[in-house]
């Protein structure tokens, strides 16, 4: 196996953390970019993905520590729940900024290394809500749908350069983001209600996403690009 340098955004929590741990267990050198990285963790770098200056600075620090980055997983995300008629433009903009513009900044910042290497893997964590829609989440669903679109278009541009770009939309995964929504009564039912409606009859685990990303980041996945690969227990088909 070839050891690569990987960056996982949102890698301090939930799905991103599981992906970072899995890529590391796979043998890669992994750096995490997050708003609030754990103190004392030398492989975690503080950056707000909406701020290009911070992203560039963090990527420069990662390059200095590990070398060129050829695997990028964009998992940083921010949800939001508001009736559309009550949604302020500022709230709309922040959710678009984190979920969509953050992907733009991180991909642009990491891409020169992949182009130079003639090899790269980009995985964007979108959302099953881009497939199904979700009431009170217009901003979030719009952003995640755009991430799926960006993924398809970029895959066509970067395929000839040896770089694959795929999106993995999670559905109903047990993370702090989901549990906070549950606590606030925003899930549209209890976790048990959702499990009963999920064909595989369980809640998803961050490790389910991590396994998919591990494969997409591997040599074996070189013929898979521009794909939207749902990890949702059959909730969307
Ligand atoms: P999570 O536990 O809240 O993790 C998200 C991480 O992203 C957190 O560490 C968060 O930091 C970080 N983050 C937020 N805004 C950021 C920013 N501007 N710059 C850098 N880092 C930022 O949520 P999760 O459930 O693991 O979500 C991971 C991804 O999966 C997200 O893109 C989410 O939209 C997507 N997703 C999750 C589910 C699900 O069922 N859980 C379903 C569909 C899609 P703070 O905690 O400090 O804010």
Distance CA 7, CA 61 (A): 12
pLDDT at 96: 98
Task: Tell me what the pLDDT averaged over the chain comes to.
Answer: 98
The CATH code belonging to domain 5-173+205-221 is 3.40.50.720
Which of 35, 96, 188, 204 most suits a substitution to test ligand 1, by most atoms within 8 Å of the C-beta? 35
Distance CA 171, CA 1 (A): 31
- Please, which pLDDT band fits residue 1 given cuts at 50, 70 and 90? confident
Has 223 been annotated as catalytic? Answer: no
Provide the percentage of residues in the chain whose pLDDT is more than 70.
Answer: 100
- Please, which pLDDT band fits residue 40 given cuts at 50, 70 and 90? very high
Instruction: Select from 160, 182, 186 the least CA-distant residue to 81.
Output: 186
Domain ranges for the chain, please list them.
5-173+205-221
Q: Kind and range of the H or E element at 116?
A: helix 102-117
- Please, which pLDDT band fits residue 56 given cuts at 50, 70 and 90? very high
- Please, which pLDDT band fits residue 158 given cuts at 50, 70 and 90? very high
Which of 7, 9, 16, 203 most suits a substitution to test ligand 1, by most atoms within 8 Å of the C-beta? 16
pLDDT higher than threshold 90 for residue 156: yes
Name the residue with the closest Cα to ligand 1, atom 41.
173
| 215 Cβ neighbours under 8 A, 6+ residues apart | 221
Q: How many CB atoms lie within 10 A of CB 88?
A: 10
**Of the ranges 8-22, 58-72, 133-147, 183-197, which one carries the lowest mean pLDDT score?**
183-197
What pTM was estimated for this model as a whole? 0.99
Q: Residues 35, 15: contact at Cβ < 8 Å?
A: no
State pLDDT tens for residues 206-221: 999 999 999 999 999 9
Q: Which residues line ligand 1 (CB under 6 A)?
A: 9-10, 12-16, 34-36, 48-50, 75-79, 98, 102, 125, 127-128, 170-173, 175-178
What's the gap in Å between 160 CA and the centre of ligand 1?
31
What is the average pLDDT across 199-203?
98
Name the residue with the closest Cα to ligand 1, atom 44.
127
Scan for tokens 């070189």, then name that residue: 222
Q: How many CB atoms lie within 10 A of CB 96?
A: 19
pLDDT at 219: 97
């Amino acid at each position: 196996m070839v050891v690569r340098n990987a960056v996982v955004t949102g890698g301090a929590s939930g799905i991103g953390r599981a992906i970072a741990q899995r890529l590391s267990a796979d043998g890669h050198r992994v750096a995490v970019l997050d708003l609030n990285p754990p103190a004392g963790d030398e492989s975690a770098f503080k950056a707000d993905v909406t701020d290009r200056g911070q992203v560039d600075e963090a990527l420069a620090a990662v390059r200095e520590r590990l070398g060129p980055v050829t695997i990028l997983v964009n998992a940083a995300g921010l949800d939001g729940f508001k009736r559309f008629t009550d949604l302020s433009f500022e709230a709309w903009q922040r959710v678009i900024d984190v979920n969509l513009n953050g992907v733009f900044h991180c991909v642009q910042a990491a891409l020169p290394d992949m182009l130079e290497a003639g090899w790269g893997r980009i995985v964007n964590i979108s959302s099953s809500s881009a497939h199904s829609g979700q009431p009170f989440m217009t901003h979030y669903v719009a952003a995640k749908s755009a991430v799926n679109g960006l993924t398809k278009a970029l895959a066509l541009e970067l395929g000839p350069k040896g770089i694959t770009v795929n999106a993995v939309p999670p559905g109903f995964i047990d993370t702090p983001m989901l549990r906070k929504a549950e606590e606030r009564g925003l899930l549209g039912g209890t976790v048990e209600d959702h499990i009963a409606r999920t064909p595989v009859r369980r809640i998803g685990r961050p490790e389910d996403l991590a396994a998919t990303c591990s494969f997409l980041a591997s040599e074996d996945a070189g013929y898979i690009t521009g794909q939207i690969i749902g990890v949702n227990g059959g909730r969307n088909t």
